[in-house]
């Protein structure tokens, strides 16, 4: 332990220790001013600085300082660009430093289980690998400035419905592989200063008082060194929370909690040692060497440009029949209120008081005309407005419709009830596309929407919620000043009903059953071979790329993979090379393939670069509940080099060798198949099994084939061998003993 921290703890009174474990006010950690530990400020987060004073609320009703609204998580994950995320984090870290904010409350990195979750716009992906990598770089960027982060909401907080009490019920494998893996990457790679635990319960136990989550997994397994703070109001039972590994209750002041802690220590219900440990963890962070804030500036102008630059790297060109990019010589009409007033962020605790927002219409200026077509807040079909838009579309060469979800359709605190755009917008798009084949749709949404008109329009550009620079970015992409290079960080299903969580979202009073298990997003659509509207990882460019010369090598358990990519078009562009691993070992219940690497290559026309990846055993593994650990079965795997999860360009196969076996529990009803799969028991059993061959006349051969006999053996419990082998009880006991002995060796 840091000596200074030890010294402070020795000097602290019990009351001071208890007080340190609760917030000073809405946005401050208490500190111990008497002993030179100043209170520290925390602020939302995640995609901008939402700094309020202590009287402010966390729901966004009161104003926060003017700040820069960067693209939300739904957009930034589509960059598939870790360097860019570091840069964004660094800029936010500088802003925090200039404003004396010690911890930025983010990144928000829960998995997008259903497109309906009201907070999906803040979250990154349906894929834990991508979410973990994007979060890690962001955290490293912020923390490079001597400012902490608080990845949230830990864990399995994938809906807003009953968010403060719902229990997310799932198997251990699902929890580990899908809902914890991203956090695990962030903790191991980026060492966040703090973590924010979620409101919900996990398999019945509140995240805030969950020792398995906060101590066994987070600390003991992953080595987390920071402190855990509660989401605002997430503490259920204060003493249970401290015992489980939650150090800081937010917001404060919580006089009652402080009193409870003091009493619990006095009565022996909480040991002072446990409290000291919580105090130590908070002090270690509060006393971290802070970067010098005196020269820090919050350069709103520079950061506004950075926000626009980042958004241009995130937007996804979903479809393009060649109409885009536009040219200034064309007669173009913009329509839809979002052209003037883009929707660039979602509602709730992440809401930023943006510096300035320019619409794409203003950027285009005299090159385009504008008709409203529909209102951005109301779902009201105004016939005269639609008619005016249809006429304008007929008269123009090209119609660009700026569609999107109104604020009230997606927001923190409640989930969406459907996956559609407002009816007036769908109607307008359909009617304009009917008269104008050169129709482009620009989307301002925080999560997928159904697109009944998609086959009738020429191009779709999805800006997601692109931050305050979205207008500039949209303009640059539409007119080809920049080449789109974002890729979807989530699948866009054809219909909500196709989503794997559909039958079990959002659950009921008791909780929600994650019945789809690990088959979330593309893991489900691919396994079921379902068509999707747009696949995970998909995105078009104004240029084209070819893949060649894939190589995979395995040396001492480390797998290196590389592939060359060439820009075969005539424009500069960026390709996101995606690496998926497919288990071909015959192991049951594994996804078709899983993302385990990505690299963004910037390529001039005709230029070739090599994307290189290093994989470890963990990248081949699933979480085995029997083993209580990750396990990579021996056998064949495929490395797929891909443009998207559904556009695989090159495949290489390799064999993975391992001596590790899953544990086998031996009893009378263990199947013969399981015993034959394990080399040690197979060595005992195989020689004594009768030969499985077809016998008898023609008629019985047809009825009982060798394959049928083999399958019957495989699926039979061990005890049935007594009949097959005509064994006495003693012979069976002897066989059992030999099998037990073999397993022990
Ligand atoms: C949200 C958190 C946020 C906190 C403070 C909560 O309601 O869930 O994401 O950081 O408020 O505003």
Residue-wise pLDDT for 468-526, tens only, equals 999 999 999 999 999 999 999 999 999 999 999 999 999 998 899 999 999 999 999 99
Q: Rounded to whole angstroms, how far apart are CA atoms 115 and 513?
A: 16
pLDDT tens profile 324-357: 999 999 999 999 999 999 999 999 999 999 999 9
Ligand 1 atom having least distance to the Cα of 198: 8
Cα 162 to middle of ligand 1, angstroms: 15
Q: What mean pLDDT is predicted for residues 558-576?
A: 98
Give me the residues paired with residue 581 across strands: 594, 639
Look at residue 617 in the predicted model and tell me its pLDDT.
95
What is the model's pTM?
Answer: 0.96
105 lines ligand 1 (CB under 6 A): yes
Q: How many CB atoms lie within 10 A of CB 693?
A: 10
Length of the chain: 745
Cα 50 to middle of ligand 1, angstroms: 11
- Residue among 166, 96, 100, 180 at smallest CA distance from 138: 96
Q: pLDDT-based confidence at 57, cuts 50/70/90?
A: low
Q: Rounded to whole angstroms, how far apart are CA atoms 694 and 405?
A: 65
- Alpha-helical segments (H) within 41-171: 73-76, 82-98, 128-143
Q: Rounded to whole angstroms, how far apart are CA atoms 479 and 239?
A: 59
Q: What mean pLDDT is predicted for residues 647-673?
A: 94
Evaluated on CA atoms 188, 189, 195, 201, the torsion sign reads negative
* Nearest protein CA to atom 9 of ligand 1, as residue: 349
Pair type for strands 398-404 and 439-444: parallel
On the question of pLDDT at 556 being above 90, the answer is no
State which of 26, 29, 43, 44 you would mutate to test the pocket of ligand 1, scoring each by most atoms of that ligand within 8 A of its C-beta: 44
349 lines ligand 1 (CB under 6 A): yes
Q: What mean pLDDT is predicted for residues 689-703?
A: 71
Element (H, E) at 630: strand 629-631
Sheet holding 103-105, edge to edge: 28-29, 40-44, 103-105, 148-149
Q: Rounded to whole angstroms, how far apart are CA atoms 70 and 344?
A: 9
Q: pLDDT-based confidence at 291, cuts 50/70/90?
A: low
231 lines ligand 1 (CB under 6 A): yes
58 lines ligand 1 (CB under 6 A): yes
Share of the chain above pLDDT 70, in %: 97
Q: What mean pLDDT is predicted for residues 375-397?
A: 94
46 in Cβ contact with 281 (< 8 Å)? no
* Nearest protein CA to atom 6 of ligand 1, as residue: 232
State which of 29, 47, 60, 105 you would mutate to test the pocket of ligand 1, scoring each by most atoms of that ligand within 8 A of its C-beta: 105
* Nearest protein CA to atom 11 of ligand 1, as residue: 232
Query: In 231-342, at which residue ranges do the beta strands (DSSP E only) sit?
Result: 316-320, 332-335
Look at residue 56 in the predicted model and tell me its pLDDT.
58
Which residues, in sequence order, are CB contacts of 14 under 8 Å at separation 6+? Answer: 262, 265, 266, 272, 275
Q: Is 191 helix (H, G, I), strand (E, B) or coil?
A: coil
Q: Rounded to whole angstroms, how far apart are CA atoms 430 and 421?
A: 12
Look at residue 198 in the predicted model and tell me its pLDDT.
98
Give me the residues paired with residue 23 across strands: 29
Q: Which residues are identified as catalytic?
A: 231
Q: Which of the pair, 49 or 705, is modelled with greater confidence?
A: 49
State which of 64, 231, 248 you would mutate to test the pocket of ligand 1, scoring each by most atoms of that ligand within 8 A of its C-beta: 231
- The angle at the Cα of 674, spanning 669 to 679, to the nearest 5 degrees, equals 130
Sheet holding 573-583, edge to edge: 594-603, 573-583, 635-644, 647-656
* Nearest protein CA to atom 4 of ligand 1, as residue: 232
What torsion, rounded to 10 degrees, do the Cα atoms 204, 208, 209, 211 define? 100
Q: What mean pLDDT is predicted for residues 429-435?
A: 98
314-328, 355-369, 686-700, 711-725: segment of lowest average pLDDT: 686-700
Ligand 1 atom having least distance to the Cα of 152: 9
Ligand 1 atom having least distance to the Cα of 50: 12
Q: What mean pLDDT is predicted for residues 39-49?
A: 96
Share of the chain above pLDDT 90, in %: 89
Evaluated on CA atoms 468, 47, 445, 481, the torsion sign reads positive
Cα 233 to middle of ligand 1, angstroms: 9
* Nearest protein CA to atom 7 of ligand 1, as residue: 232
Ligand 1 atom having least distance to the Cα of 58: 12
State which of 157, 207, 232, 249 you would mutate to test the pocket of ligand 1, scoring each by most atoms of that ligand within 8 A of its C-beta: 232
pLDDT tens profile 598-632: 999 999 999 999 999 999 999 999 999 999 999 99
- Residue among 108, 113, 74 at smallest CA distance from 512: 113
* Nearest protein CA to atom 8 of ligand 1, as residue: 231
pLDDT tens profile 78-89: 999 999 999 999
Cα 232 to middle of ligand 1, angstroms: 6
Q: Rounded to whole angstroms, how far apart are CA atoms 178 and 173?
A: 8
- Alpha-helical segments (H) within 516-617: 522-527
Ligand 1 atom having least distance to the Cα of 150: 10
Look at residue 711 in the predicted model and tell me its pLDDT.
85
Cα 433 to middle of ligand 1, angstroms: 41
Cα 145 to middle of ligand 1, angstroms: 23
- Residue among 126, 40, 102 at smallest CA distance from 591: 126
Q: Which domains occur in the chain, in start order?
A: 38-251 (3.20.20.300), 304-508 (3.40.50.1700), 545-656 (2.60.40.10), 672-744 (no CATH)
pLDDT tens profile 126-161: 999 999 999 999 999 999 999 999 999 999 999 999
Task: Compute the mean pLDDT over every residue in the chain, rounded to the nearest whole number.
Answer: 95
Look at residue 60 in the predicted model and tell me its pLDDT.
47
On the question of pLDDT at 713 being above 90, the answer is no
Pair type for strands 635-644 and 647-656: antiparallel
Q: What mean pLDDT is predicted for residues 89-113?
A: 97
232 lines ligand 1 (CB under 6 A): yes
Ligand 1 atom having least distance to the Cα of 106: 10
Look at residue 311 in the predicted model and tell me its pLDDT.
98
Cα 348 to middle of ligand 1, angstroms: 8
pLDDT tens profile 195-214: 999 999 999 999 999 999 99
152 lines ligand 1 (CB under 6 A): yes
44 lines ligand 1 (CB under 6 A): yes
Ligand 1 atom having least distance to the Cα of 163: 8
């Amino acid at each position: 332990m840091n000596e200074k921290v030890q010294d402070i703890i020795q000097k602290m009174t019990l009351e001071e220790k208890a007080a340190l474990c609760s917030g000073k006010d809405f946005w401050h950690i208490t500190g111990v001013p008497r002993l030179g530990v100043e209170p520290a400020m925390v602020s939302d987060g995640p995609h901008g600085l939402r700094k309020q004073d202590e009287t402010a609320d966390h729901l966004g009703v009161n104003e926060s300082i003017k700040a820069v609204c960067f693209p939300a998580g739904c957009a930034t994950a589509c960059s598939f660009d870790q360097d860019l995320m570091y840069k964004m984090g660094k800029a936010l870290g500088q802003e925090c430093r200039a404003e004396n904010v010690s911890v930025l409350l983010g990144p928000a990195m829960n998995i997008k289980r259903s497109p309906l979750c009201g907070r999906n716009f803040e979250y990154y992906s349906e894929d834990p690998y991508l979410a973990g990598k994007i979060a890690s770089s962001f955290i490293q960027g912020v923390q490079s400035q001597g400012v902490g982060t608080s990845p949230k909401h830990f864990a399995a907080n994938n809906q807003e419905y009953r968010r403060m009490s719902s229990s997310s019920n799932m198997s251990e494998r699902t929890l580990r592989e899908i809902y914890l893996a991203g956090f695990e990457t962030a903790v191991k790679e980026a060492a966040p200063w703090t973590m924010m635990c979620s409101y919900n319960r996990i398999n019945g136990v509140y995240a805030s008082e969950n020792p398995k989550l906060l101590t066994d997994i987070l600390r003991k397994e992953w080595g987390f060194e920071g402190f855990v703070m509660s989401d605002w109001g997430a503490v259920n039972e204060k003493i249970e929370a401290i015992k489980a590994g939650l150090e800081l209750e937010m917001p404060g002041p919580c006089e009652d909690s402080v009193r409870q802690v003091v009493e619990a220590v006095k009565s022996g219900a909480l040991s002072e040692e446990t409290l000291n440990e919580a105090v130590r963890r908070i002090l270690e962070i509060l006393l971290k060497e802070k970067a010098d804030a005196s020269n820090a500036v919050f350069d709103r102008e520079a950061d506004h440009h950075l926000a626009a630059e980042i958004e241009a790297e995130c937007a996804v060109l979903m479809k393009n029949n060649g109409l885009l990019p536009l040219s200034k010589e064309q007669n173009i009409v913009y329509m839809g209120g979002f052209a003037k007033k883009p929707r660039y962020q979602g509602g709730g605790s992440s809401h930023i008081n943006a510096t300035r927002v320019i619409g794409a219409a203003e950027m285009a200026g005299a090159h385009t005309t504008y008709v409203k077509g529909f209102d951005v807040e109301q779902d009201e079909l105004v016939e005269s407005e639609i008619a005016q838009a249809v006429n304008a579309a007929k008269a123009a060469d090209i119609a660009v419709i700026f569609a999107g979800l109104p604020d009230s359709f997606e927001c923190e605190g409640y989930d969406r009830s459907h996956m559609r755009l407002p009816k007036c917008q769908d109607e307008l798009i359909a009617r304009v596309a009917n008269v104008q084949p050169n129709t482009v749709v620009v989307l301002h949404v925080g999560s997928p929407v159904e697109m009944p008109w998609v086959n009738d329009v020429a191009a779709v550009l999805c800006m997601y919620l692109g931050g305050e620079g979205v207008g500039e970015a949209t303009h640059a992409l539409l007119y080809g000043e920049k080449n789109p290079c974002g890729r979807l960080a989530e699948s866009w299903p054809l219909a909500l009903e196709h989503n794997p969580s559909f039958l079990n979202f959002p659950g009921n009073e008791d909780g929600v059953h994650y019945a789809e298990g690990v088959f979330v997003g593309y893991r489900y659509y691919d396994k079921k071979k379902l068509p999707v509207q747009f696949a995970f990882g998909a995105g078009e460019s104004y240029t084209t790329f070819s893949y060649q010369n894939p190589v995979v090598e395995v040396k001492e358990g480390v797998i290196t993979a590389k592939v060359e990519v060439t820009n075969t078009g005539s424009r500069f562009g960026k390709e996101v090379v995606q690496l998926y691993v497919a288990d071909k070992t015959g192991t049951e219940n594994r996804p078709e393939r899983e993302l385990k690497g990505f690299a963004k290559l910037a390529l001039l026309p005709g230029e070739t670069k090599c994307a290189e990846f290093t994989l470890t055993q963990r990248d081949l593994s699933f979480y085995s509940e029997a083993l209580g650990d990750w396990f990579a079965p021996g056998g064949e795997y495929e490395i797929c080099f891909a443009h998207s999860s559904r556009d695989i360009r090159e495949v290489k196969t390799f064999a993975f060798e391992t001596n590790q076996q899953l544990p086998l529990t031996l009893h009378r009803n263990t199947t013969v198949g399981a015993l034959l799969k394990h080399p040690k028991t197979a060595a005992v059993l195989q020689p004594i099994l009768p030969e499985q061959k077809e016998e008898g006349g023609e008629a019985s051969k047809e009825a009982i084939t060798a394959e049928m006999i083999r399958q019957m053996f495989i699926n039979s419990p061990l005890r049935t061998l007594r009949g097959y082998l005509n064994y006495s009880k003693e012979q069976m006991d002897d066989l059992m003993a030999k099998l037990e002995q073999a397993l022990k060796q």
